[in-house]
Amino acid sequence: MATASLARLRSNFKGAEITVLAKPTVAALLLHHPAIDRILVYEKPGKHAGPVGFLRLISHIRKERFDLALLLQNAFEAALIAYCAGIPERRGYDTDGRAFLLTSALPRKDATRHQRDAFLQIIPSDAGEPKATNGGCLPAVATSLHLREDEVWAAQNRLAPFGIVQGDFIVGISPGSAIGSAKRWLPERFAEVADRLIEKYQAKILLLGGPGDRKGAETVLYTMKHQATLLAGESSLREMMALISLCRLSLSNDSGPMHIASAFGIPYIAIFGSTEPTASFPGGRLGRVIYHGVNCSPCWLSVCPVNHHCMTSVSVQEVLVAAEEVINVGIKDSH
């Protein structure tokens, strides 16, 4: 959701060197992004852990002599790093009690604002403040991620031994969520949707996710009547990005693959439960969010303490109808 801000930053400061400080997972996501000149990897845990590691990081950043720090992260730590590194201009929201560390502390008044738009408000123009049009609203900027051609070729080659070739109707299903089980739709329903897509579209199903998603993906695989390709826990983040870019449809919970699919213009279905989509859904004509606002949602919990009704109330048929809608839109857009 921060990639739109990076694009605006590059547009507003065409001659600047833009460096991103990010933890390894985010650094991998942003690799090869045209708005970025360099990425500094914040290795915590790792060489930047603890007081000695913090001083090592600060020393490195201080030597770079940056002019401006834009703190998209709302944590106190982000402001403390920029302050201790001696960056003269430090701009971000006045959250987490960190306003005294910032030279430009912005009030976060509207908690329901989409996170993408909240990030965009932090980006100044070369005259100092965000450029507004359309009655004071900032112009929309699309989210984006970038792959090299060799990464896409590698993904295609990886699928070839499974009998999946270019032109197949590939569906990526990501049944996991790093936050916890409260954000996960039922594995048996993912399995039924996968089987129905195979029967209707001759779809080739990829079960995707990180190492922590492997068990849930296996449950989906073993529940299915038809064959699927299990890749959860067997792909790096960059490899998963490339695999999603080859899909004709992505189905996931409220999780990273939802945003990756949207960034690559892949039709997607995202199922929300314990979280609320207003501030984080990717948007776009090619996406559908399914969310049942039951009495106790959004609870933002990692594990449901009651009956998980926000997810059990989402039916297979509801997901299939949404899938057909975005598939049809995608087909029309391709002609």
**Chain segment 208-263, per-residue pLDDT in tens:** 999 999 999 999 999 999 999 999 999 999 999 999 999 999 999 999 999 999 99
In a domain, residue 292? The reply is yes
Give yes or no: residues 191 and 330 share one domain: yes
pLDDT at 207: 98
Residue 32's domain spans which residues?
Answer: 3-122
In a domain, residue 129? The reply is no
Give yes or no: residues 203 and 282 share one domain: yes
In a domain, residue 135? The reply is no
CA distances from 165 to 26, 153, 162, 246 (A): 30, 11, 9, 10
Is residue 141 very low, low, confident or very high in pLDDT (cuts 50, 70, 90)?
low
- For the domain that residue 261 is a member of, what is the CATH number? 3.40.50.2000
In a domain, residue 141? The reply is no
Give yes or no: residues 116 and 265 share one domain: no
Q: Strand pairing partners for 253?
A: 271
In a domain, residue 140? The reply is no
Spatial CA neighbour of 41 closest among 31, 51, 50, 52: 31
Give yes or no: residues 75 and 192 share one domain: no
Give yes or no: residues 111 and 188 share one domain: no
Give yes or no: residues 212 and 317 share one domain: yes
Q: Which of 118-127, 143-152, 251-260 has the lowest mean pLDDT?
A: 118-127
How many structural domains comprise the chain? Answer: 2
pLDDT at 168: 97
pLDDT at 112: 63
**204-207 sheet: strands from edge to edge:** 229-230, 204-207, 170-174, 249-253, 268-272, 287-291
Give yes or no: residues 22 and 58 share one domain: yes
Tell me what the pLDDT averaged over the chain comes to.
91
Measured CA to CA, the distance from residue 115 to residue 102 in angstroms comes to 20
Q: Strand pairing partners for 19?
A: 38
pLDDT at 284: 75
Give yes or no: residues 104 and 161 share one domain: no
Average pLDDT score over residue span 167-196: 94
Q: Are 97 and 74 in contact (CB under 8 A)?
A: no
pLDDT at 332: 65
Give yes or no: residues 72 and 176 share one domain: no
Is residue 134 very low, low, confident or very high in pLDDT (cuts 50, 70, 90)?
very low
Dmax over Cα atoms in the chain, in whole Å?
61
In a domain, residue 136? The reply is no
Give yes or no: residues 189 and 58 share one domain: no
Give yes or no: residues 108 and 155 share one domain: no
